[in-house]
Structure 1
Amino acid sequence: MIVSDTIFKSPLGLAGKSKFKALAQAIREAILSGQLAPEAKLPPVRDLAYQIGVTPGTVARAYQLLTEEGRLIAAVGRGTFVAPAQRSLRPASPAILAADDRLSHAADVAHLLSPKMPDMGQGQMIRDALHHLAETMPTEHLLRYPDRQTDLAARRAVAAYLGVERVGAFTVDDIVTAHGGQSAVVMILQTILHGARPVVAVDALSYGGFRYAAAMCRADVVGVPWDAEGPDPAAFEALIKAQSVQVFCTSSEVCNPTVRHTTPARRTQIARIAQRYGVHVLDDDCCRLMRSAHIGPSYRALLPDLGWHVVSPAKSISAALRIGFALPPQGWTSALVRTATFSSFGVTRLMTDLYAHILAQPGIDAVLDAVRDRIAQDIRAAVNVLGMYKLSWSEDVPFVWLELPLGWRSGEFLQAADAAGVLIKSADDFALRDGRSVHAVRIAVNGLVPHQTFVDAMHVLRDLLAHPPQRISV
């Protein structure tokens, strides 16, 4: 183990040096002086970070730099070791060095794992709404269980947003509240699925929440491949026949993570197949920013007796506003209400009234427009910096999909980006275990990260993309 008192001697405070370069230099000097012998094991990243008071990202970048130089060896599952004495040294990667030059002035790590909305005034709007509710809500409302009357204001608010042309005919009484979009997905599967081993179909690359919800319902999951227009109809029908699929979970407007949409014509094809075999289709519409233009009718509009629709404000207003809405097909409202009641007795009035109050504010449209503009600013920056690579993007979707160039594998790129201080998600996070390997990553727009930090992170990724690892085929 490295003994910080004898090896580091406060190198992280040296003027003019970034933390990870100072740490790398301390380890380099310890190796050259013999304090760290060949093949000696270094502490785990988190342990060393704790010992010397830095972030794990700083230690990871130092280890990555020295590994590229040939001074350290990373053994998967075993740890990081000093290289054998005879190992030849290589110059440090320009990508890793450039990463520090770009990010050290802003932050140790750019967290781009999950979309988060920038605060464009909705933070204060939520505070004001909480104060208003605290002062005006009758005590009785603070003491009773929720029911179908206590959430009526929230259901009316979201009804104005949904629109009949988009989701088909419905009334406010058809809408069922949930504790967020994911909660709505779980409730829907609990309502639909039956039998000892039900089967749920999802897009081959899709939101992991579908798989988690299916696992909670003890269902098997199968993947539907996509072509340029959306889910492949022939593959979808073959899976239904072979696996007795009961429900297809998809996102027709924005596939998370690929940012692709299902064309209106393809939606019609998929709906006809689902209708023929009696397969439910759950259409998750939580990723496109609120009040953005939509590409076509949802599956609920195309399948009045089999289509389900889910929305939430998490990716438009705030992820902390834990409320979601499920719109069932005709004849299924009572069953879904029963599921919601049995699972949690409903969403508290504190949350439903908060949501309704915020949606009723005269400034909400300006806030939503400002959120879209801020997200679009980051998306444009990503496209400007990474545009020479294969990107899928939309200015009103808070993430981009990057297909990696030849030479990079998604796991390796993820590790390199992590070491360089940029946290993103691999395609593996969205694929089934037995699915085809895809070498791509999702870069989320985190509105809590300053725009310049996001731009710097895009340059870091571009530097990495331009320097894939060297491999020798044998």
Structure 2
Amino acid sequence: MDTIWSKETLQESKPKYKAVVAMIRDQIASGGLTVGEKLPPVRELAWQLQITPGTVARAYTVLTDSGVLHAEVGRGTFVSDPSTTIDKEAGDPPLNLIEIDAVHHNSGGDINTVNLFSPHLPNGGQAKLIRHLLGAIAQDPPSGIMHYPSRRSARPAREAMAKWLHGAPIGQIDPDDIVLSHGGQNAILLVFQTILRGRRPVVFVEELAYPGFRRAAEILRADIVPINCDKDGIIPAALAAAAERHPEAQVLCTSPEVHSPTCGFTPMERRLALVDVARKADLQILEDDCYRMGRAEGEGYRQLAPERGWYVSSLSKSVTPALRIGCAIGPKGMSGALHRSAEHGFFGLATPMLDLTAALLSHPQLPDIMEASRLGVERYVKIAVNTLGGFDLRWRQDVPFVWLKLPQGWRASAFCQAAEKEGVQIRAAEEFAGRDAQSPHAVRMAVNGGVSLHSFEAAMERLRCLLDNPPEEIGV
């Protein structure tokens, strides 16, 4: 088959990946490539055509996403049979079929771009279930559609949320303790609105932290102070020193189970030490648990320090981000104030969303759907590790992103720009740091279950090619 690949046909073509796409299509049309025939590996074809592996990988991705080729993980890329092409818009995949058509679901805009900015869960059947529930609610909404939401109308949804949170180590909760929110970010803002006092309150965050903490604090005109961290999270001595410098500080924000962006975990000994500092400095502790997909490995701060522990979570990283369903839970005795923050801000979730929350979170199929989606994330993470594992990569199999410390020769901003030119969008470490902070030369890459496994693998290959070939003009 080597004779069908000609580098001469690429000489005048720009961009070259489109020329490779056209070459493969022409060979299939003329019979040079037949149904079921295996294409050369990416690096082998790149060598034959004297182009970069990223160019070939991008061409394979385009043809795979359009159904001309199909990929089998671990075996290679093959010519598809057009008579067996499935219309992926026709319905949802079964629970064990996680791949989704990138043409319709890639959130990157351009169908040839793989967007790895934010986690996009694989579809384990939740889309079909949500459509079914929405249809039933539209026909007969239990909460009605002609009045304001209320605590009473939200009671079934809060009960369902309490059931969904069963097993989270956050201490005893009652449905009345739960305040429903428009996603995790809204839950953080509700907690800040309930806690913060004074003209210029101070909020402590990890030196690399979920950007939503800073955005919520800025909205409320709070000053943000980063606290130094190590591999186990916030350093207790650094927190104590910051509390002495800023006696007006009121809350510490942290993500002990799954730290974004580093995939870190805070062990129990460290959590207990931080609680001790928080009590001495009279700090509230806000725990963001939105990224955890599996079982919690440690006790939450609301359980460790029930008088000052606040907890927020959402469905975004375990079911879907589209619904914007989240929750906030305060310490005992603070539920009334937290409810008032929500009611004074937006009255509560819309009644159809309350009905959907109640039906979805109590549905018997949801645990299996979530497990299928989690297993799908594992498959994407495995591809990232197999492709980039030779570099300084931090990952966990049930966390929908990986953290990569860049090798010498690459700065984070330059690497992100180079990756985007190759059709891969990723986040630089500086996006998780304060404006004036010095951030490491590292990037976060999220799982995008809205593209096929082959497309994701091709994106990882393009990144590996960049990592292997840093630009000479960029210093250490």
- What range is the shorter-chain TM-score in? 0.7 to 0.9
Equivalent of 1:335 in 334, 337, 342 = 337
Equivalent of 1:209 in 209, 212, 229 = 212
Alignment partner, residue 326 of structure 2: 324
| CA displacement at 1:96 relative to structure 2 | 5.3
Percent identity between matched residues is: 42
Alignment partner, residue 373 of structure 1: 375
Equivalent of 1:253 in 231, 235, 257 = 257
The answer to whether 1:162 aligns with 2:165 is yes
The 5-angstrom pairing of residues 22-101 of structure 1 reads: 94=52, 97=55, 100-101=58-59
Instruction: Tell me the distance in 1 between the aligned counterparts of 2:444 and 2:287.
Output: 21
Alignment partner, residue 387 of structure 2: 385
| CA displacement at 1:455 relative to structure 2 | 0.6
The answer to whether 1:277 aligns with 2:272 is no
Instruction: Tell me the distance in 1 between the aligned counterparts of 2:382 and 2:459.
Output: 14
The 5-angstrom pairing of residues 140-155 of structure 1 reads: 141-155=144-158
1:15-43 superposed Cα distances (whole Å, 9 cap, x missing partner): 9997622899xxxxxxxxxxxxxxxxxxx
1:397-429 superposed Cα distances (whole Å, 9 cap, x missing partner): 111111101111001100100001101111111
Equivalent residue letter for 1:124: K
- 1:282 is paired with a residue of what secondary structure? strand
The answer to whether 1:427 aligns with 2:422 is no
The 5-angstrom pairing of residues 396-415 of structure 1 reads: 396-415=398-417
Contact 2:377-2:398 at 8 Å conserved across structures: yes
Instruction: Tell me the distance in 2 between the aligned counterparts of 1:228 and 1:15.
Output: 48
Equivalent residue letter for 1:180: G
Alignment partner, residue 291 of structure 2: 287
1:103-149 superposed Cα distances (whole Å, 9 cap, x missing partner): 443452111111111222111100100111122225x7211111111
Instruction: Tell me the distance in 2 between the aligned counterparts of 1:224 and 1:252.
Output: 14
Equivalent of 2:15 in 2, 5, 20 = 20
- 2:123 is paired with a residue of what secondary structure? coil
The answer to whether 1:469 aligns with 2:471 is yes
4+ residue segments displaced more than 3 Å: 14-19, 92-107
The answer to whether 1:440 aligns with 2:442 is yes
Alignment partner, residue 171 of structure 1: 174
| CA displacement at 1:220 relative to structure 2 | 0.6
Aligned residue pairs, count? 392
Alignment partner, residue 190 of structure 2: 187
Contact 2:54-2:461 at 8 Å conserved across structures: no
The answer to whether 1:128 aligns with 2:132 is yes
Alignment partner, residue 263 of structure 1: 267
Alignment partner, residue 300 of structure 2: 298
Instruction: Tell me the distance in 2 between the aligned counterparts of 1:248 and 1:456.
Output: 40
1:185-233 superposed Cα distances (whole Å, 9 cap, x missing partner): 0010011111111110111111100000000110010111211221111
Instruction: Tell me the distance in 2 between the aligned counterparts of 1:173 and 1:18.
Output: 64
Equivalent residue letter for 2:144: H
Instruction: Name structure 1 gaps, 5 residues minimum.
Output: 1-13, 25-91
Contact 1:102-1:457 at 8 Å conserved across structures: no
Indicate how the Cα distance of structure 1 residues 273 and 466 shifts in structure 2: closer, same or farther if over 3 A, else same. same
Equivalent residue letter for 1:171: D
Indicate how the Cα distance of structure 1 residues 346 and 388 shifts in structure 2: closer, same or farther if over 3 A, else same. same
Instruction: Tell me the distance in 2 between the aligned counterparts of 1:253 and 1:130.
Output: 32
Instruction: Tell me the distance in 1 between the aligned counterparts of 2:312 and 2:354.
Output: 16
Alignment partner, residue 71 of structure 2: none
Contact 1:210-1:249 at 8 Å conserved across structures: yes
Instruction: Name structure 2 gaps, 5 residues minimum.
Output: 1-8, 20-49, 66-110
| CA displacement at 1:472 relative to structure 2 | 7.7
Contact 2:141-2:355 at 8 Å conserved across structures: no
- 2:145 is paired with a residue of what secondary structure? helix
Contact 1:117-1:371 at 8 Å conserved across structures: yes
Alignment partner, residue 220 of structure 1: 223
- 2:312 is paired with a residue of what secondary structure? strand
- 1:176 is paired with a residue of what secondary structure? strand
Instruction: Tell me the distance in 1 between the aligned counterparts of 2:456 and 2:18.
Output: 25
Superposed CA RMSD in Å reads 2.3
Indicate how the Cα distance of structure 1 residues 455 and 329 shifts in structure 2: closer, same or farther if over 3 A, else same. same
Alignment partner, residue 65 of structure 1: none
Equivalent of 2:365 in 363, 366, 371 = 363
Alignment partner, residue 114 of structure 1: 118
Indicate how the Cα distance of structure 1 residues 460 and 22 shifts in structure 2: closer, same or farther if over 3 A, else same. closer
| CA displacement at 1:95 relative to structure 2 | 6.1
- 1:246 is paired with a residue of what secondary structure? strand
Instruction: Tell me the distance in 2 between the aligned counterparts of 1:98 and 1:242.
Output: 55
Instruction: Tell me the distance in 1 between the aligned counterparts of 2:452 and 2:191.
Output: 37
Indicate how the Cα distance of structure 1 residues 146 and 15 shifts in structure 2: closer, same or farther if over 3 A, else same. farther
Instruction: Tell me the distance in 1 between the aligned counterparts of 2:168 and 2:290.
Output: 18
Alignment partner, residue 79 of structure 2: none
Instruction: Tell me the distance in 1 between the aligned counterparts of 2:315 and 2:475.
Output: 49
| CA displacement at 1:94 relative to structure 2 | 3.7
Contact 1:99-1:421 at 8 Å conserved across structures: no
Instruction: Tell me the distance in 2 between the aligned counterparts of 1:332 and 1:360.
Output: 26
Indicate how the Cα distance of structure 1 residues 360 and 228 shifts in structure 2: closer, same or farther if over 3 A, else same. same
Contact 1:111-1:449 at 8 Å conserved across structures: no
Contact 1:311-1:324 at 8 Å conserved across structures: yes
